């Protein structure tokens, strides 16, 4: 059972000199990962084109999407990279290392999709770091899609909360179909980026 997963290992942070330098930048790179059919591409299509794709055949390798949004009197270009297959390949490594944020999407009605998230978190631990010394600016986000199907939920909130606490990451329940919480999610991370990229310190 999912509830029997033991979450007790604290992640290691990478050295300070390896933290990303984003000062003055207005482009934000976001990697999207998740199990099959959790809504990775649909997430991007909903946000970028404001339409819902009920059936979508993904391309092999990497899918890229982008959109310019206004935030805090600035224009930001959001670049989304949806990764498929082996994330340890050389090509994927280049995308991962240049990413500012990681969105890990699971389907709240499919336990297996959350198990995959735990695998990704272990594989990507070297990228798991906080931008600020106080630890209030996560660069990873755990995203539970299909909150419109709450009565069919199979992924227990208790285990989700333990994962969030363990890794110090943010969590959002969203619905790609209805677009619920998607703008809140995006604005949360753009706000983090904005404060760092354009702070006076």
Average pLDDT score over residue span 39-60: 84
Query: What average pLDDT does the chain have?
Result: 84
pLDDT at 58: 60
Measured CA distances, 14 to 11, 130, 142 (Å): 10, 9, 20
The count of residues in the chain is 201
Q: How confident is the model at residue 46 (pLDDT cuts 50, 70, 90)?
A: very high
Q: What percent of the chain has pLDDT over 90?
A: 57
CA distances from 78 to 19, 25, 65, 86, 168 (A): 20, 11, 8, 24, 23
Per-residue pLDDT, 26: 95
Once rounded to an integer, what is the mean pLDDT over residues 40-55? 90
Q: How confident is the model at residue 3 (pLDDT cuts 50, 70, 90)?
A: very low
What is the band of 76 on the pLDDT scale with cuts at 50, 70, 90? very high
pTM of the model: 0.86
129-164 pLDDT, tens digit per residue, is: 656 555 567 899 999 999 999 999 999 999 999 999
Residues 93-142 pLDDT 10s = 889 988 999 999 999 999 999 999 989 998 898 888 656 555 567 899 99
Comparing CA positions, the residue from 101, 72, 79 lying closest to residue 199 is 72
Predicted confidence at residue 15, as pLDDT, reads 40
What are the pLDDT digits (tens) for 163-181?
999 888 999 999 999 999 9
Residue 136 is predicted with a pLDDT of 62
pLDDT at 93: 84
Please indicate whether residue 200 or residue 124 has the higher confidence score (pLDDT).
124
Per the listing, tokens 């994962």 go with 163
Q: Specify the pLDDT at position 131.
A: 60
34 and 113 in contact (C-beta within 8 Å)?
Answer: yes
């Amino acid at each position: 059972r999912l509830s029997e997963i033991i979450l007790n290992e604290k992640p290691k942070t990478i050295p300070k000199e390896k933290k990303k330098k984003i000062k003055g930048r207005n482009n934000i790179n976001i990697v999207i990962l998740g199990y099959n059919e959790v809504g990775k591409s649909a997430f991007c299509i909903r946000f970028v084109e404001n339409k819902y794709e009920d059936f979508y055949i993904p391309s092999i390798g990497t899918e890229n999407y982008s959109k310019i949004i206004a935030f805090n009197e600035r224009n930001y270009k959001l670049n989304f990279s949806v990764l498929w297959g082996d994330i340890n390949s050389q090509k994927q490594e280049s995308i991962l290392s240049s990413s500012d944020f990681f969105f890990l999407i699971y389907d709240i009605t499919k336990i297996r999709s959350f198990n995959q998230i735990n695998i990704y978190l272990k594989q990507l631990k070297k990228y798991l770091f906080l931008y600020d010394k106080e630890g209030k600016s996560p660069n990873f986000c755990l995203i539970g899609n299909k909150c419109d199907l709450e009565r069919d939920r199979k992924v227990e909130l208790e285990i989700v909360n333990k994962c969030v606490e363990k890794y110090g990451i943010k969590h959002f329940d969203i619905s790609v179909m209805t677009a619920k919480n998607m703008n809140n999610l995006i604005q949360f991370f753009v706000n983090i980026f904005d404060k760092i990229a354009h702070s006076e310190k």
